[in-house]
Amino acid sequence: MHSVVCIKQVPDTTEVRIDPKTNTLMREGVPSIVNPFDMHAVEAALKLRDEYGGKVTVITMGPPQAVEALRRVKTLGVDRTILLSDRAFAGSDTLATSYIITQAVKKIDSEDAVDLVLCGKQAIDGDTAQVGPGIATRLNMPLVTYVIDIDSVDTEKKTITLKRSVENGRTALCVEYPMLMTVLKELNEVRYASLPNMILATNFKAEVWNKDDIGAEMKNMGLDGSPTAVRKIFSPPVRECGEMIPHGIEQPDVAVHNLIEKLSHNKTI
């Protein structure tokens, strides 16, 4: 099995603060981490490799510093890491991001056939959950989102059996691969890196691909290829908590009376 995992470097939101005056994110000094969902995607790919053999390639699109995200997953023992980095990529929205990543996956596939593409459910900063589906659509691959379990792989029939989370429950699916999945944290527990892998990660070199390496066209990426623009970022107003009208069970008539009183008092009825 050759899995390609897409990871995004994101600010550690547990340490991001919003400037109350300007409503902008204060990113200064905030450490970067690998998008938490993506760590579970990497773990899933490693598990499949441990069980069925093969290879795990991890890619990320971002500025040169994003190599640290690749270093982090290198400590888990992934085989190959590629940084997609080019000034022309800056300002890409989800449409352009999925285009760039698709181009990269195509190139990887041409060197070494890709069986699975794995993404996180969503990025904790952008939060759109669009990049994974965007890549699947462009690659014309089956897509399964919200994966919480990978049961088995039939390498003869080239099918994978998995479970996805849906509202009110879960569904089991058997899907042909090559396919793309986006994963939830319940899928697995991320392994604790072994010391040899930690040591190897200290002096690894990620491959870096630019727009020419992946044959990407200018019109499809960066600001030119991004129809979305962020107009404003704000934190939603804190919702005031509701008021409980007590004793509904013991004294329903009193509770109803109190409710009507309140509603008519503030002229709702």
Ligand X SMILES: Cc1cc2nc3c(=O)[nH]c(=O)nc-3n(C[C@H](O)[C@H](O)[C@H](O)COP(=O)(O)OP(=O)(O)OC[C@H]3O[C@@H](n4cnc5c(N)ncnc54)[C@H](O)[C@@H]3O)c2cc1C
When CB distances are held under 5 to 8 angstroms depending on the partner's kind, the choice from another protein, ligand X, none that residue 196 binds is another protein
- Binding to ligand X by residue 122, rule CB under 6 A? yes
* Window contacting ligand X (CB under 6 A); options: 50-58, 209-217, 226-234, 254-262: 226-234
Q: Choose between 32 and 159: whose C-beta lies nearer to ligand X.
A: 32
Nearest CA to 2 among 178, 207, 137? 178
DSSP string of the chain?
-EEEEE--EEE-GGG-EE-TTT--EE-TTPPEEE-HHHHHHHHHHHHHHHHH--EEEEEEES-GGGHHHHHHHHTTT-SEEEEE--GGGTT--HHHHHHHHHHHHHHHHHHS---EEEEES--TTT----HHHHHHHHHT--EEEEEEEEEEEETTTTEEEEEEEETTEEEEEEEESSEEEEE-GGG--PPPPPHHHHHHHHT---EEE-TTTTT--GGGSTTTT---------PPPPPPPP-----TTT-HHHHHHHHHHHHHHTT--
For the chain, the C-alpha Rg in angstroms (whole number) is 23
Q: Choose between 94 and 163: whose C-beta lies nearer to ligand X.
A: 94
When CB distances are held under 5 to 8 angstroms depending on the partner's kind, the choice from ligand X, another protein, none that residue 199 binds is another protein
Q: Choose between 1 and 201: whose C-beta lies nearer to another protein.
A: 201
Which spans of this chain sit near another protein (rule: CB under 8 A)?
Answer: 192-196, 198-200, 202-205
> What does the alpha-carbon distance between residue 210 and residue 222 come to, in Å, rounded to a whole number?
13
Nearest distance from C-beta of residue 197 to another protein, angstroms: 8
Q: Choose between 18 and 172: whose C-beta lies nearer to ligand X.
A: 18
Which of 195, 230, 238, 241 is close enough to bind ligand X by CB under 6 A? 230
Q: Choose between 229 and 241: whose C-beta lies nearer to ligand X.
A: 229
When CB distances are held under 5 to 8 angstroms depending on the partner's kind, the choice from ligand X, another protein, none that residue 103 binds is none
| Region 160-179 residues binding ligand X, contact defined as CB under 6 A | none
Nearest distance from C-beta of residue 196 to another protein, angstroms: 5
Nearest distance from C-beta of residue 69 to another protein, angstroms: 15
Which of 22, 29, 113, 127 is close enough to bind ligand X by CB under 6 A? 127
- Binding to ligand X by residue 7, rule CB under 6 A? yes
Taking CB positions, which residue lies at the least distance from ligand X? 126
Cis peptide upstream of residue 178 (ω within 30 degrees of 0): yes
Residues at the interface with ligand X (CB under 6 A): 6-8, 25, 35, 37-38, 60-62, 91-94, 97, 101, 119-120, 122-123, 125-132, 226, 228-230
